[in-house]
Amino acid sequence: MFITALKEAIFIGIPALLLFGPVTGLILNGYEIIVDWQRPILLTLVVMVGRFLVSLGSSTEKGKHILESFSRKRSANVSVSTTQTTLPPLAIAGILCVAALLPFFLGNYWLNVLILALIYVLLGLGLNIVVGLAGLLDLGFVAFYAVGAYGFALGHEYLGLGFWTAIPFGAGLAACFGAVLGFPVLRMHGDYLAIVTLGFGEIIRLVLNNWMSFTGGPNGVSAPLPTFFGMEFTSRAKQGGVPYHEVLGPIIGIDYSRSARYIFVYLILLIVVSLMVIFVVRLKNMPIGRAWEALREDEIACRSLGINHVTVKLSAFSMGAMVGGIGGVFFAASQGFVNPTSFTFFESALILAIVVLGGLGSTIGVITAAVLLTILPELLRDFSDYRVLIFGLAMVMMMVWRPRGLLKIRRPAFKLGRSA
């Protein structure tokens, strides 16, 4: 056992030395080369010891067991259950209560992080419809996010829309853009579709960036802060309403606080997210949701069953875009300002990562992944240099060991009577 491990270590040491020798042993200093033998030898030793330990470990019983568990063919990570796939109602109520009370104990910074997390939940839910349910790989989802955000900001500037009218407006606008994107890509699958949506995302961003006279270009546009029945959440009214502390102050005796506007946005967002979760979960069990999943499984079979794949695809694109658009409106409302740098490809990739990590098609998974992926980076501020690196590593490991997402996918079971 030792002998074979030693042999393997030496075998691996030779190429390691050859590789490390020139790369780390020859140091260019001005015009001369300094030969440093210590570094390659040290690195080679590290590699050899590592290999020795690995081969020693893998020959023990426990090591064999671990190796086997990695290489085992994983059966589909899907189960069918008769119980409801959602959490018990009490747990949901508890989570909602905690979530609703949370902002009163947090500072503005963490409040903003939470708002962002909820926005990502919305985006994840939207993209989950397109990628997870309908199986249409969309790399440009950020376009709909941008349409929603700019829909609010520009709608306010040119049409005088308020926050509340902007939500349906932004949602509708994004849905229209979704349908517009849907048309050219109807006949595409997989890779081709991904590239076209990628292009679409970039087009939207570039238009926003370069159409100076309309969108303000890189300078961005400011969006108004949300109001509630004429109440404004600033110390002085700017939009013709009344500051909230002047209305509520005499009644319940509260003073102006800077976090009030964040708390307000957070609470509204929480309600909207809850409604959207219900919406998406219900959609999944409706004929339209089943048609989306069927389309993901087999488009040709779908056509053979009389399902118009064109309208099914369009509906998936526009429903997904709609949810993303609402996320955009909230983004603009919470930031008070939008500009094109918020809508880069990295953003699309992040949303896609949320959907993939959460497990394609799983609503609870997507919510968890969205919250984790926004809060973890904030917790790990100290490691901010390595954030993307760790993120990438996590993705690679996920794809190797849990390609179907963190949570097990459940399918609803149906009760069928036996009697004729």
Partner 1 sequence: MLTVSELSMRFGGIQALKDVHFSVPEQSITALIGPNGAGKTTVFNCVTGFYRATSGTIRLAATEGGHYDLIKILGTPFQSSDLLNPTAFAHRLYYKLFGGSHQVTRRGVARTFQNVRLFREMTVVENLLVAQHQQLNRNVLAGLFNAKSYLTSEKRALEKARRWLNAFDLLDDANRLAGELPYGHQRRLEIARAMCTDPRIICLDEPAAGLNPNETDELNGLIRMLRDQHGVTVLLIEHDMSLVMDISDHVVVLDHGEVIASGDPWEIQNNPTVLEAYLGVEEESGETE
Residues that bind partner 1 (CB under 8 A): 76, 78, 80, 82, 279, 282-283, 286-288, 290-291, 293-294, 297-298, 300-310, 411-414, 416-418, 420
CB of 89 to partner 1, least distance (A): 17
State both tokens at 377: 């980076």
Contacts of residue 41, defined as CB under 8 A and 6 or more positions apart, other chains included, come to 17
CB of 273 to partner 1, least distance (A): 17
Could you tell me if 406 and 396 are in contact, meaning their C-beta atoms sit under 8 angstroms apart? no
CB of 305 to partner 1, least distance (A): 5
Contacts of residue 187, defined as CB under 8 A and 6 or more positions apart, other chains included, come to none
Name the residue nearer to partner 1 (CB basis): 252 or 420.
420
CB of 250 to partner 1, least distance (A): 40
Question: How many C-beta atoms lie closer than 10 Å to residue 149's C-beta?
Answer: 32
79: which strand partners? 410
Burial class (CB in 10 A: 0-12, 13-18, 19+), 117: buried
Q: φ, ψ for residue 218 (rounded to 5)?
A: -65, -20
CB of 185 to partner 1, least distance (A): 17
CB of 416 to partner 1, least distance (A): 4
CB of 83 to partner 1, least distance (A): 12
Sign of CA dihedral 307, 308, 312, 313: positive
CB of 291 to partner 1, least distance (A): 6
Could you tell me if 338 and 149 are in contact, meaning their C-beta atoms sit under 8 angstroms apart? yes
Name the residue nearer to partner 1 (CB basis): 161 or 316.
316
Q: φ, ψ for residue 208 (rounded to 5)?
A: -60, -35
Name the residue nearer to partner 1 (CB basis): 7 or 282.
282
Name the residue nearer to partner 1 (CB basis): 241 or 289.
289
Burial class (CB in 10 A: 0-12, 13-18, 19+), 275: exposed
CB of 306 to partner 1, least distance (A): 4
Could you tell me if 331 and 163 are in contact, meaning their C-beta atoms sit under 8 angstroms apart? no
CB of 25 to partner 1, least distance (A): 53
78-81 and 32-35 strand pairing: unpaired
Contacts of residue 311, defined as CB under 8 A and 6 or more positions apart, other chains included, come to none
Name the residue nearer to partner 1 (CB basis): 392 or 412.
412
Name the residue nearer to partner 1 (CB basis): 36 or 297.
297
Q: φ, ψ for residue 34 (rounded to 5)?
A: -95, 130
State both tokens at 300: 């040709």
Longest dimension (CA), the chain: 92
Name the residue nearer to partner 1 (CB basis): 40 or 405.
405
Extended beta strands in 285-338, E state: 337-338
Could you tell me if 325 and 174 are in contact, meaning their C-beta atoms sit under 8 angstroms apart? yes
State both tokens at 197: 């949506």
Name the residue nearer to partner 1 (CB basis): 282 or 387.
282
Name the residue nearer to partner 1 (CB basis): 400 or 416.
416
Question: How many C-beta atoms lie closer than 10 Å to residue 330's C-beta?
Answer: 29
Name the residue nearer to partner 1 (CB basis): 238 or 303.
303
Name the residue nearer to partner 1 (CB basis): 379 or 420.
420
Could you tell me if 167 and 358 are in contact, meaning their C-beta atoms sit under 8 angstroms apart? no
CB of 414 to partner 1, least distance (A): 5
